Structure 1
Amino acid sequence: MHTCPVRTILEKAPEAKNLFSYLRDTDDPQNNPKIWAHAAKVFKMTCESVVQLREKRKVVFADTTVKWLGSVHLQKGVLKFHFEVVKEAFLETIQEGVGENWSEELKNAWGEAYDHLAAAIQGEMEAEVR
């Protein structure tokens, strides 16, 4: 079984547990299906970023999706620091999944794709505050 990315997040930023409503009453994120569903959504959107970067050299997200994500992240109290912690956990999870095929090139590609997603969400968070 793979390491739960949220376990890594909580090790690096324990206060982040309160950002996930479905984690407040559990001590074991590894067995929480909602957190795995959340991780799958982050992975899917980052995959979409990878494809767009490869095909178009830019990333464009649906306005409604990014506005909604920005609003939710703002309401939950997510900070810029949390995006970096999630990125680290995300990259560690990918590295674990690909094993010996992991390379600096893969790390940079996945990192860049995640950065585009995080920047879009953060941009919407900032726009909502203004």
Structure 2
Amino acid sequence: MGISEKQEALVKESWELMKQNVPQLSLRFFTLILEIAPAAKGMFSFLKDTDEIPENNPKLKAHAVRVFKMTCESAVQLREKGEVVVGDTTLKYLGSVHVKKGVIDPHFEVVKEALLRTIKEAMGESWSQEMNDAWGEAYDHLASAIKAEMHAEVASA
């Protein structure tokens, strides 16, 4: 199932507004992931042995920005390209890293919830259920692509 023209418009419109605050939104996104699933902290080498708040962790900041931007940008390109657009080597790397870190399907749902809550907060009164559904659909496509690489990684091991 693809993303509709209206969903694409909602994703693009909201991403254009969010681009202005990527560093803050990225940290909020990761803070929500850790609030929803505190055990996820152990999956990130730069968080394992620290009680430092995310805002003060430069490695987390950099990682959060990369993840948030990749998620949003792949969502924006979904309808135009008809598939998730992330370089093949990046997708293979993501599959490999997620397998090594022990990521399982429920973890993707945590990330989705954190992403949607971040977008809802960022968009304020512009947020709607339609926007939520559009981002959810876009995220599901990215998650499926990463999961496919994870399965390929496991199968080739």
| Aligned-partner Cα distance in 1 for 2:144–2:58 | 27
Kindly provide the amino acid, as one letter, of the partner of residue 29 in structure 1: P
Contact residue 120 and residue 127 of structure 2 kept, 8 A: yes
Is there any run of 5+ residues in structure 1 with no aligned partner, and where? none
Identity over aligned pairs, percent: 64
Write the deviation string for residues 43-82 of structure 1: whole angstroms up to 9, x where unpaired.
Answer: 2222222222232443343211100010011111111111
**Normalised by the size of structure 1, how large is the TM-score?**
0.87
Partner of 1:81: 106
Partner of 1:37: 62
Partner of 1:4: 28
Superposed CA RMSD in Å reads: 1.8
> Residue 21 of structure 1: which of 23, 41, 45 is its match?
45
Is there any run of 5+ residues in structure 2 with no aligned partner, and where? 1-23
| Aligned-partner Cα distance in 1 for 2:75–2:33 | 22
Partner of 1:94: 119
SS of match in other structure, 2:46 = helix
| Aligned-partner Cα distance in 1 for 2:132–2:55 | 24
| Aligned-partner Cα distance in 2 for 1:19–1:112 | 25
Partner of 2:78: 53
Matched pairs, number: 130
